[in-house]
Amino acid sequence: MRRSLRSPLPQRHGLDAVRLRTPDDGPWTLMRDHLVERLPRVEPERIDAMLADAEIAGVDGPLRPDSPFVPGTFVWLHRDLPDEVPVPFPIGIVHRDDHLLVADKPHFLSTIPRGRHVVETALVRLRRDLDLPDLSPAHRLDRVTAGLLMFVVRREERGAYQTMFRDRRVAKTYEAIAPHDPTLILPRTVTSRIVKERGVIVAREVDGPPNAETLVELLEHRDGLGRYRLTPRTGRTHQLRLHMAGLDIPILGDRFYPDLHDTALDDWTRPLQLCARTLTFTDPVTGEDRAFTSALALQAWHDHAGWAAGAPTNSVDGPGTGR
């Protein structure tokens, strides 16, 4: 049997259809019966409606309510989306060409669909708004971190750019606003061993050989605050936030470190004052030297009173640059 790897269903809201592979054998007479058992969180009546409306497809086209079960084949469908609160901040475009899209991701916007965040993610928004159905992220940023996020335009070039990030051939710097401690000697390199357990929301530092390294530099200070440049030399989960908290200068707005605070998903006040500021690398496809800079301003530095009061601001200080 010829098996198509691309969905016969178009994207919906910028999302690809889910692909399922049927078992090599089973007791089902109809595809409908298998899907009812396969998708227990979907009401059988909903599966019946999707089949009636040609919203479920196989390799040969839409499935019918009476389509027989076929072992070892593929089925595509769009899952129903969860209710989401719109993230009220725009995505800035720093650079766009035939190969790359570099965006300025705002705080509170996830990179890719996951859990309760699906349509309200950077990937889905950009696919939909820019009509770029094959767009894919070259790397990721945490939902609460703002700044540069790079996407690959062409499907066939994904591997080259994603491998570049995996192999740490990209120089990245971040900017953070945190308390200023005049007794803290900077710059300094912070190292520790960080572990992140599956199902646990926070990471932690433990004894053992270091696996995380960050260069911390103080750029300037005023009114008890410091503006810091952070250069990660590894890429552990929440590394920058843990290392700053470990120096007793936790990043402003951090609701995980040093202490975990439960926060509503639609609370836009006091965003984490951390921005992915620069990306520099040699392009693995074109051979060009690339350098990009985020245009996003960290509110606590430019308007500390407004930030402390909880004003939901995602300000910018000028156009991004890139070449």
Strands (E), 45-124: 56-58, 61-62, 74-77, 92-96, 100-105
Domain limit, last residue, from 7, 42, 77: 77
Taking alpha carbons only, the member of 319, 318, 298, 316 closest to residue 178 is 298
What CA–CA distance (Å, rounded) separates 282 from 193? 30
- Same domain? 130 vs 172: yes
Q: Which portions of the chain are predicted below pLDDT 50?
A: 1-4, 315-323
My answer on whether 194 and 218 are in the same domain is yes
The pLDDT assigned to 30 comes to: 93
Owning domain of residue 22: 18-77
For residue 246, is it within any domain?
yes
Last residue of a domain, one of 77, 110, 145: 77
Q: Note whether 35 and 108 are same-domain residues.
A: no
161 and 30 co-located in one domain? no
- Tell me: do 65 and 122 sit in the same domain: no
Q: How many CA atoms lie within 13 A of 179 on its CB side?
A: 12
pLDDT at residue 314 in the model: 52
CA distance linking residue 76 with residue 15, whole number of Å: 12
Q: Identify whether residues 42 and 126 lie together within a single domain.
A: no
pTM over 0.85: no
Burial class (CB in 10 A: 0-12, 13-18, 19+), 122: buried
Six token digits for residue 12? 């919906």
Q: Are residues 27 and 150 in the same domain?
A: no
Q: What is the pLDDT of residue 261?
A: 82
Alpha-helix runs per DSSP H in 57-140: 122-130
273 assigned to some structural domain:
yes
